[in-house]
Amino acid sequence: MLFLGAWTLIGILFVGPFVVQSVAERTEIPWSKVSSVFVGCYLWGLLFPLIWYLTRRLGFERRSQLKWLLLNLALGLAISSLYGVLTLVKAEIIRALSTGHLSFGTPAIVPEHLVAGLAYCLLVYFVIVAVIHAISFYDKYREKELTASRLEGQLALARLQMLKAQLHPHFLFNTLNAISALMHRDVDAADRMITQLSDLLRLSIDQDDRHQVSLGCELEFLDRYLAIERIRFRDRLAVKKDVEPACLQAQVPRLILQPLVENSIRHGIAMRSAAGQVTIRASSKGGRLEIVVADDGPGLSVGRGLREGVGLANTRARLEQLYGSDYRFELVNADGGGLQAVMVIPFETQARLRGEGEA
């Protein structure tokens, strides 16, 4: 039906001008001419599959331009002759229906009829060939786009997997060092820390193929990590959370908060003997999710930046891999003192990239 509709539309475009002219001049519409044009379009529609097949078989890239042109010229002459014969048959059938007598005339009429419309038929043939090639080039372009998109997705997943893999040994080595130091002071506390580490690693392995999780899941994982740090720092570490309930369903990169909290603990609490606090805030505004991890430590010295280690550099690289330029991540001094890591990403409830084990 679409194919028939397309050729009907072409017929309307051809007959439209002289129909409009007849209406404007208040003369009789030449219905015989209208029907002849429509039948001619349908005849080209009848030949279109043959032209499509031959054009795709000939190709364009596989042959020299001159050879391609000569082959198409020969095919054009053949198709035009076939179209001329079909139009002659059409005309004789219409005449037979009106007169009741079927006659294709003298043999000399056929060549004259074919030659008279040859130039027009060749033009139509090459227009159809051009349209077929345009469709073919567009299909190849779309196929290349889809292939490139799939490759980019696979590359992004591979890079994210590599970046995420770096976090596990980094976090594990730091925690094992803390356990080693605690073993000489408090064996029971070290034992509890090992138990908490076991639970944390089990949770990490269960979700190992996921690149994004809900903020609620990320905070649950963070609680397991903070349980280990509380054993290490005891009363010196206080944690405050200020998270909007609507933000708990937002998708965030998995293991994105742990390096930020670890950085706050290292530079805001571990470097001094007094107690300190780490604050985690999450809010949404204008389709953006803002997460802030702040401490009440000394902050950054004037004119001196913070050298980003594995955790922070990894965090920035993962955000860029997932969101391109559509994110903000910075370390700044808070107004009331201390350092805060500010991360702003799109507020999304569906993961952008799926791991191999996700449906």
DSSP letter for each residue of 224-248: HHHHHHHHHHGGGEEEEEEE-GGGG
DSSP letter for each residue of 180-201: HHHHTT-HHHHHHHHHHHHHHH
Bridge partners (DSSP) of residue 332 are 340
Enter the CATH code of domain 158-300+307-346: 3.30.565.10
Neighbouring C-alpha atoms within 13 Å toward the C-beta of 259: 25
pLDDT score at 118? 76
Q: Write out the H or E segment, with its range, that includes residue 175.
A: helix 118-183
- Answer whether residue 168 shows pLDDT above 70: no
pLDDT score at 250? 95
Per-domain residue ranges of the chain: 2-116, 158-300+307-346
Q: What residues contact residue 242 under an 8 Å CB cut-off, 6+ apart?
A: 279, 280, 281, 282
pLDDT mean over 188-211: 75
Banded model confidence at residue 136, pLDDT cuts 50, 70, 90: confident
- In three-state secondary structure terms, 286 is coil
pTM over 0.85, yes/no: no
- Answer whether residue 195 shows pLDDT above 90: no
Q: Give the rounded distance of the alpha carbon of 155 from its chain centre.
A: 13
pLDDT mean over 271-275: 80
- In three-state secondary structure terms, 140 is helix
pLDDT mean over 123-128: 85
Q: Kindly list the distances between the CA atom of residue 279 and the CA atoms of 29, 252, 264, 320, 321, in Å, as whole numbers in the listed order.
A: 83, 18, 9, 25, 27
Q: Which of 282, 216, 278 is nearest to 244 (CA)?
A: 282
CB atoms within 10 A of CB 290: 18
pLDDT mean over 83-87: 78
Q: Looking at beta carbons, which pairs linking 155-161 to residues 24 or more positions away fall under 8 Å?
A: 156/321, 156/322, 156/353, 157/211, 157/353, 157/355, 159/317, 159/321, 160/211, 160/318, 160/321, 160/322, 160/353, 161/211
pLDDT score at 342? 95
Computed over every residue of the chain, the mean pLDDT equals 79
- Answer whether residue 107 shows pLDDT above 90: no
Q: Please tell me which residue, 225 or 170, carries the higher pLDDT value.
A: 225
pLDDT score at 157? 61
Most confident of 129-138, 168-177, 216-225, 338-347: 338-347
